[in-house]
Structure 1
Amino acid sequence: MSEEVPHEGNQSPSQAPSTQSQSGSGSSSGPTSGSQPSSGSGTLSSLDTIPVTLPSVPEEPEPEPWGRLLPMAQGFRSHDCIEEQYLFGRDSKCNYILDDPDDRGSKKFRIYSKKHFRIYREDSEVFVEDYSNNGTFVDGILIGKGKKLPLVNNAVLSLSEQRNKVFVYIDLMSDDQSSLPKGLQEKYLLTRRIGTGVCGEVKLAFERSSCKKFAVKIINKRNFKSEGVSLCLCEIEILQRVDHPCLIKTEDFYQTEECFYIVLELMEGGELFHRVKSQQQLRESVAKLYFYQMLRAVQYLHSKGIIHRDLKPENVLLSSQDDICLIKVTDFNQSRILGESVLMRTLCGTPSYLAPEVFTQASTTGYGLAVDAWSLGVLLFVCLGGYPPFHESFGRQSITDQIIRGEFTMVESKWRNISDPAKDVVRKLLVVDPMKRMTIDETLQHRWLQDHVMMETAHRMMYPGGPPTAAMVRTDTHILYVILYIYTHTHTHTYIYTYIYIYIYSSKTCRPSLSTTHTQEEGSASGSEGRKRGRDGNEEDEHPAKRRPAPPPTPL
């Protein structure tokens, strides 16, 4: 590890010389102006009279339609969609008037509303919004007044009645979806491409019933040999097994002979990479909030015997454009499920974020969970400093040699406002020897991360239905040890009962995934406190509003 030295010069980008196009002159002179100015007498000089051939102004191409409505019933006409929106109805102010041009005022058109529906485009997605009480249907599904559904290629629009098919929509900007699995077609509408990866592309999708957005990862099996297909199957297996608020959730999975289709939840805030790039450096408090969530996600993966192996800013997604937001780790296509005594021996991942042992031990003893701790150290370095710790521009060594030696520089101008505890976390994660490197659990206990306000903010986003906050979470083993200690030293059963009650309460409120055993114990231990006698002497349940709230758990 190198000392902090001001190497700002390594970080400042070189400025390319600016050039000016001669054809892009800002002159306001008329079409007869030449290279010389006009004389002050108001007469034109001989130079001014030299004819100048001006380049012809290219004609603007006619806009291409992005969609087309083809009629499916008599009396309707086709319509090309060029503008961003169109209103359909019987009203004369609509863009498309629902009326038979050969039979104006025909009674059969009175079933349509004056303003029946609207077709509009947002970015590259097309939607239809229902304005009518009589109903607008997309592929037989009623939209509902004031609601919308996405339109995709070959979607059928029915008006007023489900069977009254009026238009078929042709998307002139997208691919045909007939090759998609039937189950996927029935449940989701796939639209534009939103990303690409090692295994394939990612497309934006809408759930037909709710119009909710999802991401569909499409993996072409033909791009891989048998080992590559097994890699993708491994990713799918892992995605279906994980269940953590800071890990991307798998919603559905489909496959054909050619492709896998993995339906994932969509994160609207984009990649951490773009967030850091746009802000140059993240504020330390924001970086801490993100980093804490990353640690929790990786801690969960490691508890399942899973090594991510490709942790980088591009694989950390944000839930919104706000700084204070939930993050989720994604892209498990490089992950492996560890066996009891089998370590990974495959060199993979992004070089700048790979741990030293990946280069030095991959072909011999292999490597383990500590590689993710190193990658998280590099990630934190990038978030706080705004630049990678290992780069070709730093000295004459290659990136690989810099990583193997563990040599990085904290540029003083970038790190002067970063706290010492934050720097300490980076240094203890970027330790070459994996046995001496700080683990994920140790990192979570580091003083920089003992920020209760930050943790409560993170837990509130991670568990919006009732987070197990840091003050409430107590492990079962720890509480039982306290109970045993009290009994051994005091033999006072009153304290024992108190702590058993706290244990049951915390298990019930903070661990909803546990079995109902604790709830049953609570009912038997509380005796008749939760019930009252009825007029006939029988016990009856007390109204919930009249029950005494259980006391909050106290710190041990």
Structure 2
Amino acid sequence: MTTPADKKDSGDQDCKSRTAKRKASPEKKTPIKRRRVAEQAGPSTSSDVVKGVKRKVVQDEEGTTKKAKKAKLLDHMSGDEEQASFSLDSGKGEFQARYVEEHQLGEGGCGAVFAGYRIEDRFPVAIKHIPKNKVYCKVADENGKMLSVEVAIMLKLAGEAEGSVGISAPVSLLEWFDLGKELILVLERPVPAVDLQKYKAENGRTLTEDTAKVILKQLVDAVKELEEKHIFHRDIKGQNILIETGSDVPRVRIIDFGLSCFVKQRSLYRIFYGTPLHIPPEWYIRSCYRCGPTTVWQMGVVLYEALHARYFSTARFLTKQLSIKKRLSTECRNFLDACLALAPEKRPTLEELQLHPWLR
């Protein structure tokens, strides 16, 4: 579960300080639709006017059917409202014509994710539904319109991947639809794959040090690449790390950029977005945090949970209720100690982690 804490943020003013609850393929090249959008309707679209109307036709107290009532309301709509309604219906129809939605994969405070596939070639996809009132982080696009940061970041990543799906560690955005009251993101769905928590459970509740090393090396490289692109994920954890299991060597994929943001070199954040259990100590002590040290802290949390049969809690770690296994190698313990240093300035940078002896 993830929440933004109730403090004012000087470096993250585009994000609303509302509670955000979080949960949580065959490799082939496929063209990415850079933008597939039905223009957002204004506050008086037909869907708002007839909110709560059931599909079943029933008579009201004057004997007029609700279906007829809806038609009457639509007759009185302005041209702009009719166009907005048509645009939303067209976007929904286009989505349904291109994709089949199947069982639910997960649900959190920002929306729900479903398995599905693209009709034309049965390419596996994940379909993410995000209610507009749960889009907590926004940024202005090239036209000055406010856009979901998750969409903006994934469009940036897709553009820099040059249209290839399955190449980068972050899963690819294939298309997205703005349906007025919700966004639909159609994402690459690696198959077969499970999140790191399930992968750990399927492998005896803890991973061997060698397996954890393979995963952490890929993860550190991936978040370093994000940092170089000025992207701060903010919620790297087991549930947001997919492990592709189709080969002998597990492959890391990163999902869920719903709380992410674009970051400047010296950005300082005073609103916490992420998993409360994993809040870095500096937020408790100084009521602020930065991108690099926080991401390194999260590397320590991920590794700790991979190697121990328990969940990590910053509060329990600070009160010494959690300890690092003594049977781990000296280099591994050193890696964990460095990532989980209480003072952010004492943690290594991501580049230094890449050069750490344990990952060499």
| 2:186 equivalent to 1:271 | no
The 3 A distance-change label for structure 1 pair 381 and 192 is: same
Separation of aligned partners in 2, 1:196 and 1:219: 10
* Corresponding residue to 1:239 among 154, 161, 177: 154
Match of 1:304 in 2: 229
Aligned-partner residue type, residue 100 of structure 2: L
In structure 1, distance between residues paired with 2:90 and 2:306:
42
> 2 CA distance for matches of 1:309 and 1:232?
19
In the alignment, which residue of structure 2 is the partner of 1:314? 239
Distance 1:261 1:337 in 2: 21
Q: Is the 8 A contact 2:280 2:289 kept in 1?
A: no
SS at match of 1:317: strand
Which residue in 2 is equivalent to 1:194? 105
Distance 1:179 1:271 in 2: 34
**What does the per-residue CA deviation read over 1:394-421, in whole Å, with 9 as the maximum and x for residues that have no partner?**
xxxxx53x45567741244xxx2x3211
Task: Kindly provide the amino acid, as one letter, of the partner of residue 310 in structure 1.
Answer: D
- Deviation of 1:360 (Å): 2.5
Q: Give me the TM-score of the superposition, normalised by structure 2.
A: 0.65
Structure-2 change in CA distance of 1:306 and 1:422 (3 Å)? same
Q: Find 2:286's aligned residue among 339, 361, 372.
A: 361
Greater percentage in helix: 2
Equivalent residues in 2 for 1:91-490 (5 A)? 181-223=92-134, 227=136, 233-242=148-157, 243=161, 245-267=168-190, 268-278=192-202, 279-320=204-245, 324-339=249-264, 341-362=266-287, 366-390=289-313, 399-400=314-315, 402-404=316-318, 408-412=322-326, 416=327, 418-450=328-360
CA distance in 1, matches of 2:348, 2:330: 17
SS of the equivalent of 1:369 reads: helix
What letter is aligned with 1:434?
P
- Residue 488 (structure 1) aligns with: none
| Worse-superposed segment, 180-189 or 429-438 | 180-189
Alignment identity in percent? Answer: 24
Higher relative contact order (CA 8 A, sep 6+): 2
Whole-angstrom CA distance in 2 between matches of 1:262 and 1:198: 16
Is the 1:336–1:344 Cα contact (8 Å) retained in structure 2?
Answer: no
- Structure 1 residues 340 and 283, CA gap change in structure 2 (3 angstroms): closer
Question: In 2 relative to 1, CA 384–403 (structure 1 residues): closer, same or farther, beyond 3 Å?
Answer: closer
SS in 2 for 1:348: coil
State whether residues 246 and 296 of structure 1, in contact with CA within 8 Å, keep that contact through their aligned partners in structure 2. Answer: no
- Residues 442-484 of structure 1, C-alpha deviations (whole Å, 9 max, x = no match): 111011111xxxxxxxxxxxxxxxxxxxxxxxxxxxxxxxxxx
Instruction: Supply the distance in 1 between the matched residues of 2:245 and 2:122 (Cα, whole angstroms).
Output: 19
Q: Aligned AA for 2:117? A: F
How far does residue 180 in structure 1 lie from its aligned partner after superposition?
Answer: 6.5
Stretch deviating more after TM superposition (335-344 or 301-310): 335-344
For structure 2, the residue ranges without an aligned partner over 5 or more in a row are 1-88, 140-145, 162-166
- In the alignment of these two chains, the number of paired residues is 256
Larger Rg: 1
The two structures have a TM-score, normalised by structure 1, of 0.43
Which residue is 2:55 aligned to? none
The one-character-per-residue Cα deviations of 1:248-292 (angstroms, maximum 9, x if unpaired) are 111111111111011111123111011112321112211111111
Q: What SS does structure 2 have at the residue aligned with 1:435? A: helix
1:333 deviates by 1.0
Aligned-pair distance for 1:439? Answer: 1.4
